[in-house]
Structure 1
Amino acid sequence: MSESLSAALPLTRWQGDRGIYHLVTFTGAEAEVIAMHARLHRLEFGKQRGFGSVKIVARIGETEWKSSVFPQAKQSEWVLLISKKVMQLEQLSCGDTVPVTLTF
């Protein structure tokens, strides 16, 4: 199984109770790869991480950071939050198509 995953995804804005968040959503084949890593972690360690998340190192452009992706809709979608700092460093705006690489 691959240790990394790359996709070009739209940057979306979500208004929550505690503020505004920017994120990208992995679906389809990319979501299946992430779900498989979550299942392998559960088999290896006998439990899942908080909220069913998967630890990753994310990369957009020249910016790299440690984070987690979180399952949505029974693991058919996975969400990666994008911080304001990353958005500023990479000059991103809501609606931009963002090339994201995840390393597991």
Structure 2
Amino acid sequence: MELQFSGPVFCWRGPAPHHFVAVPEDEAEELRETAAAVTYGWGMVPVAVRMGATTWTTSLWPKDGTYLVPLKLAARRAEQVAEGDVVDLRLTVDL
């Protein structure tokens, strides 16, 4: 399964700050339909992410009816992405 979408980068400033992009509603619905087949617990969905020329693996975090895509620091640096930027993402979920 592949999904493509754009979204703004935001920072969660908890004890371990991290940057994320929220998956839009339509794409989140598609993910929910397949999540049970691929999740490894707590609703986490393993994916490959592509942002610009940078690709990495991570897991989507379920949150408030959608999923959050964690943006690794190395990927943000490689693509010169900062909080508030709108980025294009491609997610690949192996079924």
Name the TM-score, length of structure 1 as normaliser: 0.83
Aligned mates of 1:82, 1:61 — CA distance in 2: 12
Unaligned runs of 5+ in 2: none
Aligned mates of 1:10, 1:65 — CA distance in 2: 19
Q: Is 1:21–2:10 an aligned residue pair?
A: no
User: Counterpart of 1:95 in structure 2: which amino acid?
Assistant: G
Q: Is 1:30–2:21 an aligned residue pair?
A: no
1:50 Cα offset (Å): 2.1
Q: Is 1:90–2:79 an aligned residue pair?
A: yes
Q: What RMSD over aligned residues (CA atoms) do the two structures have, in Å? A: 1.3
Count of aligned positions: 93
Match of 1:70 among 31, 53, 61: 61
- 4+ long deviations beyond 6 Å: none
Q: Secondary structure at the match of 2:42?
A: helix
Name the TM-score, length of structure 2 as normaliser: 0.91
Deviations 1:33-86 (A, max 9, x none): 1111213x07xxxxx52221111110000000111111112xx21011111111
Q: Whose Rg is larger?
A: 1
Q: Secondary structure at the match of 1:38?
A: helix
Match of 1:12 among 10, 13, 27: 10
Unaligned runs of 5+ in 1: 43-47
